Structure 1
Amino acid sequence: MKKTLLLFPLALALFGCGGVDTLKQGLAQSQAISTDLKKALATDNLVSMNWHNGALSNVTVTFNAIPKEKNLDDIYHRASAVVAAHLSERPQQLVIAFALPPAPGEAKTLVALPKEANADKG
């Protein structure tokens, strides 16, 4: 009961300050940017945004693969144009990343500690 009483004013404050609306708007913008980038570059992606003290600090676009027949400069310019078209505020940084699977035949390896480090634990 006490938790409910404590959380109720917090919920009212969030609704009152527009925090929920900002979150909804950011999610909608993120999805719109992702859809347009997929059309422009024919590659699935994930778009996330970070705010710091009310200012848009960075937008991160993570592609699931490197877009075919596109160089990094072209990817950057297209991503930058799509982000600018959907956001009224320019981010301080645009981060472009690629989530790639391991190369074929490349095995995951564990790093072994040198024998001297293992002897200290003995």
Structure 2
Amino acid sequence: MLRHAAIAAVFAAAATLAAMPAHAQDAAAGAKTFVVCRACHQIGPGAKNMVGPELNGVVGRKAGSVPGFSYSEANKTSGITWDEATLTKYLANPQKVVPGTKMIFAGIHDPAKVQDVIAFLKQYNADGTKK
């Protein structure tokens, strides 16, 4: 009987954890994490292409489509439209998602920080204004 109670307690705890919400995205925290991205990317009013393309309106944008930026063939032909799910994978390990990309960044390995950066990126329209 005690064994059944212990098993039931484990299942109850697992159900509670599964029902908990995922990390809530925090754009302000994402702005702080984005500092490492600023070495290559700009975002916001007046953003320009640098080592990497400007990131205004990146969420919902087709990969390899910023005018005036010289993308790798791998990026141009990836067929990706940047959504939250794809960005989550890409920001954690760019080379794995788009082998041959010019982006040599090793990735953001903390899933919460990845979500925060995505929240930060989602704030910007294609013209650099905030939503």
User: Which structure has more strand as a fraction of its residues?
Assistant: 1
TM range (shorter): under 0.3
Normalised TM-score (structure 1): 0.25
Normalised TM-score (structure 2): 0.24
Bigger radius of gyration among the two: 1
